[in-house]
Structure 1
């Protein structure tokens, strides 16, 4: 039996809108002195008390609550609504850090009520952000996003730019939990840039931790460890025990992912040795979950069970549904390992109920797979089939490859028991495909790690070699001072040889560059000839002649206008290395309109997403039109009606992507109808051209042609990744 491992729990810092300083201890000492000197009962003293509460809430929560209580009482005496609201806010974040969510929410609501009464939008933004953090802790991602959005809207209204990175960071964490890794990294990197510029220590620490979590989820362990080490460095400089605890735990998690269990346990134990961290139930709960999962990985199920029971008990106590679901799934698989099926099923069902409402998709899929596995071993095959199918469907939707593979493996076994051998065989084929995908992904991860290790080992070796050479040079200079003339002569000779070698290298590079330019010109000429074929020109003129003979004056004038405009645009574009995207699109639209003017036999669209400003993007000319022409000439061999051609441009991950789709016979059928030795001219020339353009533009570019039947659709899909430059706005 293969037990599906539960995901590793990563710890990250959450952010507040209050200003943090380089040395927290120095700030606390300064505030204490200020409190001792300033004895006047007014709003200044209330602020000092609230500031002291803030700087204690993470490492000394009891002292934080004491300062917040004093601030609240003094605010009541002097009738400071704002000071009282801030004291409730401080109580809220302190109780939240301890996992006392119900008490925390009550304090936030009181703060919101007071801030609303005095129309303090800044205070309301802080409370909404904090409630977003709280609901994220509890696993209610949808509600967390709602509160973050409210806070963001308020600060945008106020024009408070300094708070924007906080929202970017918090929303990045939501995207990370939803499995939207690209969106998460974009938000974290933007936030990190701002935090670094303002030297915001907690902000930088939190971003590094969160980015490491994403890289860990993607299997890029070297980058994950690098990010966590940067986080650990900041935590130690800031003298923040809880942040050090978090970084040690997270580094342990990366080693756990690589099945380096001794290293992982070493970092976990270092983290647990930090006494201040024991006051934070959520943090200690997370690390115990990770240690329990090591025993699950090692199939030491009886050792893992007490850990999971403790995690579940503490999660219920602080109402942490997110970690409760993880613990329940873990305990379910542990019971499954020792064949206690009723106990396993009960835990999976409870986890499923929680994760069905809190949007934590990975744990939800895990509970379905767990229930399906349990029902299978209990020989309740119909129930097992229902849950395995749900697991397969959800894991496919969210691209959880391991869950997806194990779901299909179960489906194969279950259908065999139900005598549905055809379905069982189909599921087994899916298992093979997914095993190949996982194998390839693991190989890519290993190659990445090897490259990373080689890079730094090579740099270290180079440094050692440089040091050795320097030592030898000093020794030689000291011992052979009298031979300086000979050394000078050798130096001159070496200089002359180096000069000759450099000259030869420059000549070779220049020659290669000229060859590349010549090759590029030849390909451009080939493309122009393939685009403006005599066949196309002859057909166009024949159509025009027919219109004139039929005395269709308006139609012929329109046709001639479009034809001449198209010729002019293509000839003008062919002279330039790059043209505006808007010009290229005009050429394509004119071409489609021209082809459609005679009989109106095609429906076509040219759609550009709003994120693209066509007046700013500059691209190589004549990349898109050949594929549009292919669709018109070859896609609809026997199809007289409902002919559709769609051109769509999008901008994703700094890639300019153009897709050309049709609903014709499909590229596979086209290949069967053509001679075996005949290749697509436009695809061949464009592929050759893109190889050169990739080097010129120093960015990725490619063309792929697919039959849409692989997506259960009809027709052909051409995907172009187009190299581009952004025109500078004057």
Structure 2
């Protein structure tokens, strides 16, 4: 008799004699291996499904033997055929559940993301009806919240975060740190919707929970959200303070994140008419961006434009033109047709910025007519670019209007 057939018989007998979940799991797993060795793929898949169902109804594996369950589901992932995405999703979801029960949110989210990548609709509202217990219901809400956030369905994301949070708090399924992270995620949703009142409340709740648990995990995201919220309600000093705190909390030394924060700080200083400080942070951001590989020319174009505009506000026109020229050089290297690939929106074009600078120069020289012409040229370019850069539009319109207010 073939060895694989003998193995199948052996594990079938072991399964019949199994008196507890652990031995049943071992027998089923042995049958999976034996069937695969005997090229009985369909039968192997059936046993894999039985392994998962056994775990789902087995409290023992989750509460008393999580390491054993992790071991078996990890082994299952190694042997499941690559095209069996349903089974891979199930195994990853179960691993997410186990790690979550151990307060290992990092590993839990990692496996949850694997499942979501395999099937973008893995978490649907139907899953809420088949979840076997409160933990799985809460986990499903969290999965739905993550999915909807990625799709920018912020209202739906908020609903699922809140529903998951209610169950978690009621059943005490996780500690204060995890609850704090959920509040921060809700705040980020509200911030993206420009609902800064609710965003600020959830930021404050998140911070209180972090302080209660003496936790620093995920605090970078919290203070970054705080910065965006304070910016949204025009409290720029607090926004800058929050962004600076977030800089101290980046634990992976992510230079792209650091560059983004420098830009956010500079934007606050521009609105506060503190252009020298704005330039300081923009130049820090530029220094990082020019060293990155791959380099993102579109981001560099925007930074150079903003530096040029700030120098222009300080009436340092030579430096403004220098950065405008630099912006144009980078602009010519990148394809505006591939804007979505870069993941950013190109703001005011270098040509519009140069017209704006020239208009300011002629305005200072009391040449109203030429200044007026250049402002209009800048305005026409800004209006022709979609989406329209509203900040640049408002700035140039304001400069244009002052010509009518000044008598030379």
For CA contacts below 8 A with separation 6 or more, give which structure has more relative contact order.
Answer: 1
Q: Distance in 2 between matches of 1:105 and 1:246?
A: 30
Moved more, 110-119 or 203-212: 203-212
2:95 maps to 44
Which digits, 9 at most, give the CA deviation of each residue in 1:330-374, with x for residues without a partner? 68559xx5xxxxxxxxxxxxxxxxxxxxxxxxxxxxxxxx6xx69
Which digits, 9 at most, give the CA deviation of each residue in 1:56-114, with x for residues without a partner? xxxxxxxx6x7442255895565522332232222333233xxxxxx322222223223
1:70 maps to 122
Paired residues of 1:129 and 1:147 also in contact (CA < 8 A): yes
2:247 maps to 192
The equivalent position to 1:252 in structure 2, one of 305, 308, 311, is 305
Q: Distance in 2 between matches of 1:333 and 1:34?
A: 66
Q: Secondary structure at the match of 2:275?
A: coil
Distance 1:110 1:134, change over 3 A: closer
Aligned pairs for 1:369-380 (under 5 A) are none
* Structure 2: 5+ residue stretches without partners: 1-76, 98-108, 312-319, 360-373
2:157 maps to 107
**Is 1:266 matched up with 2:323?**
no
Q: Distance in 2 between matches of 1:86 and 1:34?
A: 28
1:90 maps to 146
1:227 maps to 284
Q: Secondary structure at the match of 2:218?
A: helix
Say which structure is richer in strand: 1
Say which structure is richer in helix: 2
Paired residues of 2:351 and 2:378 also in contact (CA < 8 A): no
Q: Distance in 2 between matches of 1:295 and 1:135?
A: 38
1:210 maps to 264
Paired residues of 1:212 and 1:227 also in contact (CA < 8 A): no
Q: CA deviation at 1:228?
A: 0.6
2:394 maps to 329
TM-score (norm 1): 0.31
**Is 1:146 matched up with 2:221?**
no
Distance 1:132 1:289, change over 3 A: farther
Paired residues of 1:248 and 1:271 also in contact (CA < 8 A): no
Paired residues of 1:248 and 1:268 also in contact (CA < 8 A): yes
Q: CA deviation at 1:33?
A: 8.7
Q: Distance in 1 between matches of 2:168 and 2:268?
A: 41
Q: CA deviation at 1:149?
A: 1.8
2:13 maps to none
Q: Distance in 1 between matches of 2:352 and 2:193?
A: 21
2:347 maps to 287
Paired residues of 2:382 and 2:393 also in contact (CA < 8 A): no
Q: Secondary structure at the match of 1:109?
A: helix
Q: CA deviation at 1:275?
A: 3.1
Q: CA deviation at 1:271?
A: 5.9
**Is 1:308 matched up with 2:407?**
no
CA-based RMSD = 4.6
Q: Distance in 2 between matches of 1:125 and 1:161?
A: 11
Q: Distance in 2 between matches of 1:277 and 1:255?
A: 25
Q: How many residues align?
A: 278
Q: Distance in 1 between matches of 2:216 and 2:235?
A: 25
Which digits, 9 at most, give the CA deviation of each residue in 1:531-573, with x for residues without a partner? xxxxxxxxxxxxxxxxxxxxxxxxxxxxxxxxxxxxxxxxxxx
Distance 1:45 1:167, change over 3 A: closer
Distance 1:271 1:143, change over 3 A: farther
Q: CA deviation at 1:161?
A: 1.4
1:155 maps to 210
Q: Distance in 1 between matches of 2:202 and 2:112?
A: 23
Q: Secondary structure at the match of 1:195?
A: coil
Distance 1:170 1:36, change over 3 A: farther
Q: Distance in 1 between matches of 2:79 and 2:376?
A: 56
**Is 1:116 matched up with 2:170?**
no
Q: Distance in 1 between matches of 2:227 and 2:301?
A: 22
Q: Secondary structure at the match of 1:160?
A: coil
Structure 1 or 2, whichever has the larger Rg, is 1
Which digits, 9 at most, give the CA deviation of each residue in 1:228-257, with x for residues without a partner? 1354267x35x6x77x74455224321343
Aligned pairs for 1:359-374 (under 5 A) are none
